[in-house]
Amino acid sequence: MKRHNKDLGDLGEKYAVKRLRRRRYKIVATNYSCKLGEIDIIAAKGEYIVFIEVKTRDNSEFGRPAEAVNGVKQRRIAKIASVYMTRHSGRTARFDVIEILGRLRFNGKLKVNEFNHIENAFY
């Protein structure tokens, strides 16, 4: 089951990058990491550097995917973003969450049933 979740998450992040590019976001980094942790996607659009957490699930049995980005996770993302911004300043930070509901197909591809980009999701 762990491998399934990892594969689902990785495919969800790739799908999110494609959708963001179509919406004219410039992808700055994927899986940006520092000693404090990792941010799934860092993108630029207009005046913003956007820090994006992607949550992909195959169902919402235990709640919406975005609900997994709780206060603890939000604070961790904000700290990592702060590290990034000290090295790459110049724009205003924004925190988004992308939630994807979908399933892995037998061919290893992601079948997306729902895509929801929540801008200014926190802070």
CA separation for the pair 91, 49 (Å, rounded): 6
Give pTM, 2 decimals. 0.92
Helices (H), ranges, 1-123: 2-22, 71-87
Q: What is the DSSP letter of 63?
A: S
Closest residue by Cα to residue 112 from 64, 65, 67, 57: 57
Q: Is domain 2-118 classified as CATH 3.40.1350.10?
A: yes
Mind listing the pLDDT tens digit for each residue in 9-38? Answer: 999 999 999 999 999 999 999 999 999 999
Can you give the residue ranges of every domain in the chain?
2-118
Phi then psi for residue 8, to 5 deg, are -60, -45
Distances (CA, A) of 6 to 63, 90, 118: 19, 34, 22
Mind listing the pLDDT tens digit for each residue in 85-121? Answer: 998 877 999 999 999 999 988 888 999 999 999 999 9
